[in-house]
Homo-oligomer: A and B are copies of this chain.
């Protein structure tokens, strides 16, 4: 494995108090394939500078100014990580791409479907790598699950059940000074609530593993905590393009739940099950024969899954490593000069995610029952 000088990365957002900024940094640098060199971490110049100092990188108060400055330096950033609240995803991503940067964006791709469709156009024209951190696709056992389905081991996929249960918004935290909660329940900054924050993860995971695309849905998207402006619970029935049935359950008011993402995919011959609580395992139950548990980094896994681990089997890896896998694949795409980031979700998944959110929210609000997933292929 020959040496490649690390790709230089700049970050927009992720300042003090943010959860996801440090995760992006740790993940990006974990394998030495990228290196953070600059950031517009906060609109507040002092705060941005403090973050830059803490990380030993160049700091800017204004992301446009950063793009311009970094573009002009010989040692300037080559890629941009977008980790702002959702309402800025579109603008920052689009501008960065146009300015010649590769972009790794936190999900969702944009604030709404129209923006996502616009961004798809920008990506298509830019010739740069655009990746979207649907981080759960970075787990090696999720990738193994996808391989199992692709190989046809389960036969035709017939049913998918995806659940994502959190409980942290069971009380009106947003009125109690939680920065994390505040922007996530503000329609202007977040666009959608629970369905946009975590529902899209479950949606993306369902499509990623099953290899099928949601075609129709019937949704109950609602707000449980009184006074909250955005949804905090969503339950959706799905039909995939191969007519498989699906159920998607996501909630941020499932009190006591931590970050419980769990998916089951059933085919004609068996079903597989993966849970974020035991991420290094994958269970496969067969119509005939004993159940199997596959363990990360074991020699019998597919090359795709094996490529996603750094240490021997029995040594747990977690969220940061899964995130790191997305960055590693992103870096590989950059290094190879191909815009498609391989296993890393891109703008296609970004558009589909926003289409899911908008279709579900609208149908639920209007009491429409079943609707088509519109705009996903625009």
Does B222 lie within 8 Å of A220, measured CB to CB?
no
* Interface-side segment among A101-109, A113-121, A251-259, A337-345: A251-259
Instruction: Select the residue from A19, A171, A264, A288 with max chain B CB neighbours within 10 A.
Output: A264
Does A32 lie within 8 Å of B19, measured CB to CB?
no
Q: A233-B159, A315-B259 are in contact. Are A224 and B245 (CB under 8 A)?
A: yes
The answer to the question of A152 belonging to the interface, with a C-beta cut-off of 8 Å to chain B, is no
Q: A311-B319, A314-B276 are in contact. Are A54 and B3 (CB under 8 A)?
A: yes
CA distance A10 to B161 in the complex (A): 42
CA distance A6 to B245 in the complex (A): 49
Does B5 lie within 8 Å of A56, measured CB to CB?
yes
Q: For this complex, into which size category does the number of interface residues on chain A fall?
A: 35 or more
Shortest CB-to-CB span from A75 to chain B, Å, is 14
Q: Helix, strand, loop or mixed for chain A's interface?
A: loop
When C-beta atoms are compared, the residue in chain B nearest to A251 turns out to be B159
**A127 / chain B contacts, CB cutoff of 8 Å:** none
The answer to the question of A189 belonging to the interface, with a C-beta cut-off of 8 Å to chain B, is no
**A284 / chain B contacts, CB cutoff of 8 Å:** 256, 290
Does A285 lie within 8 Å of B224, measured CB to CB?
no
CA distance A295 to B247 in the complex (A): 27
* Interface-side segment among A38-46, A205-213, A366-374: A366-374
**A166 / chain B contacts, CB cutoff of 8 Å:** 314
Q: Mark A281-320, 1 if CB is under 8 A from B, else 0.
A: 0011111111111110011100000000011111111111
Q: A266-B257, A310-B320 are in contact. Are A292 and B295 (CB under 8 A)?
A: no
